[in-house]
Structure formats: structure tokens, C-alpha cells
Amino acid sequence: MTRTVPVSARAQRRRSLVAIYWTEFRNEVLKNVRMPVFLVSSLAFPLMFYALFGLIFGRESVAGVTTATYMLATFGTFGVMGAALFGFGVGVATERGQGWMVLKRASPMPPLAYFAAKTLLAVMMGGLITLLLFVLGGLIGGVSLPLGTLASMFGILVSGAIPFCAMGLAFGYMAGPNSAPILVNLIYLPMGFFGGLWMPLPILPAFIQGLAPWLPSYHFGQLALSPLGAQSIASPWPSVAYLAAFTAIFLALATVLYRRDRGRPVG
Amino acid sequence: MQATLNTVHNMEHAATPGTVLELRQATKDYGKVRALDAVSIGINRGECVALLGPNGAGKTTAVGLLLGLDRPDSGQALMFGADPFALQNRVRTGTMMQVTGMPDTLTVQEHLEGFASYYPAPLGVAQILASTGLSGLEKRLYGKLSGGQKQRLHLAISLVGDPEILFLDEPTTGLDVNTRKALWQLVREFRDRNRTVVLTTHYLEEADALADRIVVLNHGRVVAEGTPDQIRASTAGKRIRAVTGFRVEEARELPGVARAVRDGDTLELHVTEAETATRALLQRDAQLRDLEVTTIGLDEAFISLTGDAREVPS
């Protein structure tokens, strides 16, 4: 009941903001880590695909590197995209469906805390997937790269989660809890294949090579290939610009949908 | 001492003395449906107000405007005389809503800590668990709680910030009698500390048990307002049933008839007092038989207020 004196009010508010963001993030991590579906779908698919394709085509060469090395970047891209799209798309849609979102919005929660927690988790999952792929590549793919190359590939892959967080967020507001996984898969899997993330683009038919530059997955993948010198883009900047614009568009869309979602036409 | 504190509090925050929540001519459409139609409601500090009405009456919409989930299309919604959207106003409120679920894989304690972090001076987790009857369940995952325990946690979440205003949206829907009574007791204790409670319900019994004042909503309008006693008094008090050829349209013209329906051979009337209508019926229909006069229960009184037989509260 006691109200704080004005002098310390600002300091207190700053402390409490840290507490809010920390608790939100901690809960987001605990909530997901305790769901086997989340871990398996986020981690297992990119790792499994990489292990399969990497074993089969590992020693062959593409774009100047071994296929196993090339696919480290492309399946890293694929894994990061998946963690972001599923974490946001399915997560938000589910929590909206439960009414849990409305309760949080009725509470004095700063809305950004919820989205920041989800973004940070997606970025961390992206990092984890990338590290596990590196280990797998070293163990079974015979991949050997300088530490600097690995570090910059890691940095690019982890930051690449952001555009797909934005896309996933918009999907989370477009779809219901049951349709969200279907919607995400319908976008995610073709985006992976046609963006050259499953099979290296140079070995794919010409029409797919023509289609790929329209896709965000292609630009993300090309940026991730850059530290290897295996990219087919001349300069990274058009791809960076594409992904920045892509992020802005989906954030704007998500904002509109978030506002529209505000009230429920109930009772 | 307590009185002094409250006075200071009032002077500090309330624009209209005593009024902590207000809708002024608030209208809200959802698509083509008018959920609220120029509704004005004022709620005072220390008051428990029930918004009562069938599903779709506009109760949840009204609460949504009051707590800043949505803005009215026209008119105004005020919390402490200011914008309900502002977080500095909202940290003085707690909300319990109709949620079908929360994340199953967080524990009772983690859920509570999450909401507690939003408030400047939350109650201790142990204290709130004890008062809501959840002690010992701190480490239990939400998904492993029983229905009643979940509802208790939802209430605990609404109380954890030590709010001045408590919003309860259909708090006891689907609860067993014991849990419902326990929840009512907690709400009464809260109100007795000069806190404000806004309750939506479609149970007249619940409004009657908790509220100082009932606002009856139907089709987005306020159709009645008053103390529980006044609400009951303003509704038809007796029911007359008889087998008669009397037409429903004619029956409605009889003195004091609030509602007339036909059920096969039987005509049923809701009336303010039974004698006049009964006399009129007997005079005009010599063949009338199986005459029966009974007192209408609370829930039926509510039906005659909202005039909507299709949405009988169960």
C-alpha cells in the first residue's frame, strides 16, 4: 500500500523493468524446454536432415567447398528459420487461442516484454542449432574451418532469426491454434527447398534457380554461405536490404493484426 | 489512521470524487454487431458492482473498455479519471478472465511470479497461495491442476499485485459449489478492505451474493440498475399457469403482465401481482382449468428482465 517517494521512483521503475523482462524470459524458456515437441521439432529436423544429406553427399564438392561444409550454412539457415517461425507462429497462435494472451494484455505487462522474451528464445535456439550442426559437421562431415569463419557464420545465422520472428509473429495473429502449425509448415518447407537450403542451388534445375532470389530463405542462406566464399550473390547488401524490408513489412502487418486482435467479440 | 490514508488517496487520484471507473455513452461495434450501445456506468471506490446479463449482452465488452483492452468507438472509458490504457493506471488493477488455459508447462509459482513482476508492490507468493487455498502446490505444473485449482490460480493472479480494482469476468463458470463459495468469500474479504470489484456474471445468484449494485445488460444496453433487492422488486413476482384458450396477444394486454407464453394447452404469465390477472382470466374464460400460481425464483426474474427465454442461465 505504501507508495514510493518520487526521488527513487525512476530507479525503482528501471529495476522493476529488468525484473519484468527477466521473469518473462525465464518463463518463456522453462515453458518451452519442458515441451518435448518444441525441442524435437526445433532441433531434430535440421540435425537429422543435415546428417542424412551430409553423409550421402558429404565428400562431393559444390561451389568450391565440400557439400558437408556448404550444407552447414544452408541447414543452419533452415534450422534458425524453423525455430523462429514455429516459436512465434505456433506459440503466439496457441497462447491467443487459450485466452492467455488476453489475460496478459489486461494485466499491466509491457507488451514488448512478451515479444522480447520470444525473440531472445528464438535467437538462442538458433544459436544452439548452429553449434550442434558445427559439432555434427566436424564429427561426421569431415568439416574443418578456421575459427574466424565459424564465428562469422554463427553470427550471421543467429541474427537471421529476426526476420523470421517477424514473419512468425504475423502468422501467429493470422492463424488459429490448430491451423498455425499447418500454415507454418506450408510456408516453411517450400521456402527451405526452393531457397536452396536442402539441396545446393547449383545442382537444382534452372527454374528453381530463377525462383530462389524472390525468397527470403535464399537471401538468408546466401549471407550464411558468404564466410565460406560459396555464395552466388555478388554483394551481400541487396540481400541485407531484402531481409530488412521483409522484417519491416511483417512487423507492420503483425502490428495491425495485434491491434485488431485487441478486443474479443464475446458477451 | 485508515480513514486518513484513504482520504489522501482519493484526493490524489480521483477526478470525480469516489468514482474510480466510468463509461460515458460508450458504444462499441464488432463488425456488424453492436456490442455496446451508448452505455453509461459509474463505479465508486469500495463498491462491488455486478454486470449481469445473458451471453452476448455486452458484459465482457464493457469490462474490456473499462480495463483498457479496447477503446470505445464513441463515448469514453475512464479509469481513475484517466485513460485505462496507461500502464500506470493498470498497475492498480487485477483481472480474472474466462481463459480456457494457460501454458501447461509452467508451475503455479512461476505463473504467479510472472504476473507479480508487473506490479510495483506485489504480495508475497506464499501469502497469496495461502489466501487462495493453493499452499503446497507451488511446484505443481499448471497442466496437472484440477479445474478448481486452476480457477483459484486465476484468482490468485488477479490478486497478486494487491490491486485497488479487481475485475472478475465470469469467475465461477464451471466451478463446483464448494469452490464457488470459497471464491465468493475471498471476493467479499477483498471488498471489505475498501477495494473495488467489477464482476460480470450470468448467474443472478452470484450477483445477489456479492454485489452492492447490479447493472443488468441486454443486447448492449443497460436495462435495469439497482441494489439486488431493487432488481428483484422491479421484476414480475408471480407466475400463473392455466389450461385455457386465451390468446397470448390478449394475455399481454391484461393488467400487470410482464410476459406471456404458450406451452401447448397451457398459458404461462409472469405478473407483478397475481390477483388482478387471475380475476381477469377467470372472468373471460369460463372453461379455464388447472390454475396454478407460484412465486418466481431469482433466475426467472432475471429472464423477465432481459426478456430472452432462449438464453436461460443454467
3-state secondary structure A120-142: HHHHHHHHHHHHHHHHHHHHHCC
Judged by CB atoms closer than 8 Å, whether chains meet at B30 and A263 is answered as yes
Counting Cα atoms < 13 Å in the Cβ hemisphere of A5 gives 2
Judged by CB atoms closer than 8 Å, whether chains meet at A265 and B121 is answered as no
d(CA B204, CA B202): 6
- Which of the residue ranges A7-16, B168-177, B208-217, B228-237 would you say has the lowest mean pLDDT? A7-16
d(CA A243, CA B45): 52
Q: CB contact, 8 Å: A8 with chain B?
A: no
Q: Is B263 helix (H, G, I), strand (E, B) or coil?
A: strand
The domain ranges of chain A are 13-260
CA A260 to chain centre: 25
In sequence order, the β-bridge partners of residue B204 are none
pLDDT digits (tens, 9 = 90+) for B170-183: 888 778 888 888 88
Q: Which of A35, A99, A106 sits opposite B105 (nearest CB)?
A: A35
DSSP structure class, residue B227? -
B chain contacts of residue A112, beta-carbon cutoff 8 Å: none
For B3, the grid coordinates are 480513514
The domain ranges of chain B are 14-229, 236-295
User: In which band, very low, low, confident or very high, does the pLDDT at B23 lie, cut at 50, 70 and 90?
Assistant: very high
- Start-to-end C-alpha separation, chain B: 46
Judged by CB atoms closer than 8 Å, whether chains meet at B114 and A31 is answered as no
User: Which amino acid, one-letter code, is at A238?
Assistant: P
Residue among A13, A22, A107, A259 with most chain B CBs within 10 A, to mutate: A107
User: In which band, very low, low, confident or very high, does the pLDDT at A148 lie, cut at 50, 70 and 90?
Assistant: very high
Q: Which 205-234 residues of chain A touch chain B by CB within 8 A?
A: none
In sequence order, the β-bridge partners of residue B44 are B19
d(CA B269, CA B272): 10
Q: Which of B100, B111, B117 sits opposite A98 (nearest CB)?
A: B100
What is the nearest CA distance from B56 to chain A, expressed in angstroms?
Answer: 4
* A62 vs A152: which has the higher pLDDT: A152
Domain with residues B236-295, CATH architecture:
2-Layer Sandwich (3.30)
For B283, the grid coordinates are 372472468
pLDDT digits (tens, 9 = 90+) for B92-131: 999 998 777 899 999 999 999 999 999 999 999 999 999 9
Asked if pLDDT for residue A188 goes beyond 60, the answer is yes
- Rounded to two decimals, the pTM is 0.81
Asked if pLDDT for residue B14 goes beyond 60, the answer is no
Q: Spelled out in words, what is the top-level CATH class assigned to the domain B14-229?
A: alpha beta
B chain contacts of residue A23, beta-carbon cutoff 8 Å: 113-114, 117
- Distances from the Cα of B101 to the Cα of A27, B2, B118, B193, angstroms: 16, 39, 20, 30
In sequence order, the β-bridge partners of residue B238 are B271, B295
Predicted pLDDT of residue B179:
83
- Which is nearest to B122 in space by CA: B135, B109, B134, B139? B109
d(CA B287, CA A18): 80
* A52 vs B310: which has the higher pLDDT: A52
Q: CB contact, 8 Å: A18 with chain B?
A: no
pLDDT digits (tens, 9 = 90+) for A38-47: 888 788 889 9
pLDDT digits (tens, 9 = 90+) for B253-296: 887 787 888 888 889 888 877 888 888 888 888 888 899 888 77
CA-derived radius of gyration, chain B: 23
CB A201 within 8 A of CB A225: no
* B212 vs B313: which has the higher pLDDT: B212
Domain B14-229 and domain B236-295, same fold? Reply is no
Predicted pLDDT of residue B300:
63
Predicted pLDDT of residue A228:
95
Judged by CB atoms closer than 8 Å, whether chains meet at A267 and B90 is answered as no
Q: Which 85-144 residues of chain A touch chain B by CB within 8 A?
A: 95, 97-100, 102-103, 105-110
Q: Which of B58, B91, B103 sits opposite A108 (nearest CB)?
A: B91
Judged by CB atoms closer than 8 Å, whether chains meet at A27 and B106 is answered as yes
User: In which band, very low, low, confident or very high, does the pLDDT at B18 lie, cut at 50, 70 and 90?
Assistant: confident
From B162, which residue of chain A is nearest by alpha-carbon distance?
A: A1
Predicted pLDDT of residue B95:
95
A chain contacts of residue B125, beta-carbon cutoff 8 Å: none
Q: Which of A12, A31, A100 sits opposite B105 (nearest CB)?
A: A31
B chain contacts of residue A35, beta-carbon cutoff 8 Å: 105
| A257-260: long-range pairs with CB below 8 Å, 24+ | A257/A170, A257/A173, A257/A174, A258/A111, A258/A173, A260/A173
d(CA B7, CA B29): 38
Predicted pLDDT of residue B10:
39
Predicted pLDDT of residue B80:
94
Interface confidence, given as ipTM, is 0.87
Mean pLDDT of chain B: 85
